[in-house]
């Protein structure tokens, strides 16, 4: 085997030198492979964490949607109750108003009768 020097001359390589170069290249290849495996593992772990985070976020979203529906239902029920109370209050007010008018009319009649009694 020959090796080209910087000067352009050919140099014959010893078999031990080739073995050493081969071993060095093999070592570098192993280091690069280990580095890429480490990077790949870190990437996969990151992807897994991200997927878990997305699942938790989706679960939270579903939980919040459910809670919003519950609150909307409670609000609707409360609105109906308040509307019924208002209607009952309005009816009650109208009843009281009619009763007050009737009492005033009765007072006027009573006053008229008192005047008639006094004249008699």
pLDDT number for residue 3: 59
pLDDT number for residue 85: 87
Domain that holds residue 107: 2-119
> What sections of the chain are H helices per DSSP?
15-119
Kindly tell me if the per-residue pLDDT of 7 is higher than 70: no
Please count the structural domains in the chain.
1
Global pTM reads 0.49
Kindly tell me if the per-residue pLDDT of 12 is higher than 70: no
Q: For residues 3 and 13, is the Cβ–Cβ distance under 8 A?
A: yes
pLDDT number for residue 62: 96
**Chain-wide mean pLDDT for the chain?**
86
Beta-bridge partner residues of 4 = 10
Across the range 86-91, mean pLDDT stands at 82
């Amino acid at each position: 085997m020959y090796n080209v020097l910087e000067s352009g001359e050919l140099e014959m390589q010893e078999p031990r030198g080739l073995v050493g170069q081969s071993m060095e290249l093999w070592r570098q290849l192993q280091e690069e492979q280990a580095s890429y495996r480490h990077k790949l593992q870190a990437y996969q772990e990151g992807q897994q964490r991200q997927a878990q985070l997305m699942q938790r976020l989706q679960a939270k979203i579903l939980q919040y949607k459910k809670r919003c529906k519950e609150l909307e239902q409670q609000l609707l029920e409360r609105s109906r109750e308040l509307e019924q109370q208002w209607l009952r209050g309005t009816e009650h007010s109208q009843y009281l108003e009619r009763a007050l008018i009737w009492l005033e009319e009765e007072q006027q009649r009573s006053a008229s009768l008192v005047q008639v009694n006094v004249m008699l």
